[in-house]
Structure 1
């Protein structure tokens, strides 16, 4: 599907010659005004924001449409329920300036989910060289909704000519719990297609790592997150 065929593409933030293009995939049922407002307040100079608002597309198709539409050499991804720090884009740009061989950059996530750069390539805070992403085929719809961002990052590691890295200072706030839930079939497919990376990244070869993996698959950590985030919110709403 070409970008021209996607009716829901808009540029709420435009620039004649952007260095960075921010792509936000969303659907009409979701509000994206708050994330766009945070993007307007960035300290970077040359950037644009592209919103792909089309319920007929899966998340991979929406991201790919935004990547094709992007005019910047660097594409930064976030989601409609996230809030980037004011220096988010400046820090992305600085990371690419410091390392000319960098092709994929992941950053930290705090809030309803926590991420510290374990090579899972969380799509709400991910930046990459546009041409490199196009050359590896973008995001694969076969993984849409579960591990699509991880699979993309691993393909960038394997197939792109350059380095992938994590920078803690490239930070994103994710106010709510992630909307995705585990898809066992896609999890198994990822493991089949990337057996070495899966064992290195997803299931560390330690007893605590394997216990943690078992608890996660049984839904234990989802229950913990529900208690951690939903109960305090319910208490506050009763006050």
Structure 2
């Protein structure tokens, strides 16, 4: 069976060696991509490894340092393939990623999300191998595992994640692409997932289409992006009637960075103070940790506020109530 031509798309600002590893991963594909299109969010273009497929670097400007939504739309417009496979710059594609996505993505089939495995610091050193990755990589504890079959429906649009996904170009056009009113970090992914749901395009998990996420210093919750998270959560509410990123907002509240003022359903989010070094240290991913984890930080903050260890049911219940409040939903009675 002949598969449709696949354009692999990524965005980059800095992280030159990460991007070079993306290219090396694409050179190892069982089915070569039609092209790699790089949305360059910096002044200089990249010096990249030689390939048997074309690489096109597209400069993406904007008024904000991270025009993520606009950049994804720009690389999609430039792409020549029928299938658009979006892979983040810190993700090395496994050898069957292009073939796995090309086999699934058809017009009307919607969006497909492949597997993501996380690497500890140093695993992507020169001379890396996929066997070496498989020996140390971990799945994120807060993400769904691969489906039992080739695909499975993702019934919650909030699980959409642009880190590793593919969609037929006709379906991307039908969705309208990413909403460019979202500026900076956070919210544009959930908005795109909500849009797919709104226009009736399914979201599916894929077995395979795997990437290996390269370690880089990160923080979860993204306290260093607090301002854009708050602003984009409010944009989402203006558009859809409720906020998103409620787990991050709850963490910021526990940290004493923000508070809600007013009463449901019209309360406002007010910034109380700026994040400091202690806040950043609490959220920072360490090199021995393959990924950062907001749930871990929330639990620490909950117990710090309570002054005692919390049972799982109590901690989860408190988190759900707080998240409902940030979503702009009425509280529910305790079970």
Which residue pairs with 2:232 in the alignment?
186
More helix by share: 1
Match of 2:211 among 153, 157, 172: 172
Q: Does 1:163 align with 2:199?
A: no
Provide structure 2 residue ranges, at least 5 long, that are not aligned to the other structure: 43-60, 120-138, 145-153, 256-278, 291-335
Which residue pairs with 2:178 in the alignment?
139
Which residue pairs with 1:230 in the alignment?
287
Q: Quote how far apart the aligned CAs of 1:37 are.
A: 1.2
In 2: Cα distance, 1:214 partner to 1:197 partner: 12
Q: Quote how far apart the aligned CAs of 1:224 are.
A: 6.6
Which residue pairs with 1:93 in the alignment?
102
Deviations 1:180-238 (A, max 9, x none): 6451221233244335795xxx66xxxxxx8x97347646x9867635x33669xxxxx
Which residue pairs with 1:207 in the alignment?
none
Q: 8 Å contact 1:18–1:46 — kept in the other structure?
A: no
In 1: Cα distance, 2:280 partner to 2:289 partner: 15
Structure-2-length-normalised TM-score: 0.51
In 2: Cα distance, 1:172 partner to 1:232 partner: 17
Q: Which moved more, 1:32-41 or 1:166-175?
A: 166-175
In 1: Cα distance, 2:289 partner to 2:202 partner: 41
Which residue pairs with 1:82 in the alignment?
91
In 1: Cα distance, 2:78 partner to 2:113 partner: 22
**What are the within-5 Å matches in structure 2 for residues 191-202 of structure 1?**
191-195=237-241
Structure-1-length-normalised TM-score: 0.69
SS at match of 2:39: strand
Which residue pairs with 1:52 in the alignment?
39
Q: Residues 223 and 214 from structure 1, CA distance in 2 versus in 1: closer, same or farther, beyond 3 angstroms?
A: farther
Q: Which moved more, 1:87-96 or 1:63-72?
A: 87-96
Match of 1:103 among 107, 110, 122: 110
Provide structure 1 residue ranges, at least 5 long, that are not aligned to the other structure: 1-16, 204-209, 234-239
Q: Does 1:26 align with 2:12?
A: yes
SS at match of 1:170: coil
Q: Residues 168 and 195 from structure 1, CA distance in 2 versus in 1: closer, same or farther, beyond 3 angstroms?
A: farther
Q: Quote how far apart the aligned CAs of 1:95 are.
A: 2.4
Bigger Rg, which one: 2
Q: Quote how far apart the aligned CAs of 1:23 are.
A: 0.7
Q: 8 Å contact 2:28–2:95 — kept in the other structure?
A: yes
Which residue pairs with 1:153 in the alignment?
193
Which residue pairs with 1:214 in the alignment?
250
Q: Residues 197 and 216 from structure 1, CA distance in 2 versus in 1: closer, same or farther, beyond 3 angstroms?
A: closer
Which residue pairs with 1:71 in the alignment?
80
- Alignment RMSD: 3.4
Q: 8 Å contact 1:83–1:172 — kept in the other structure?
A: yes
Q: 8 Å contact 2:114–2:206 — kept in the other structure?
A: yes
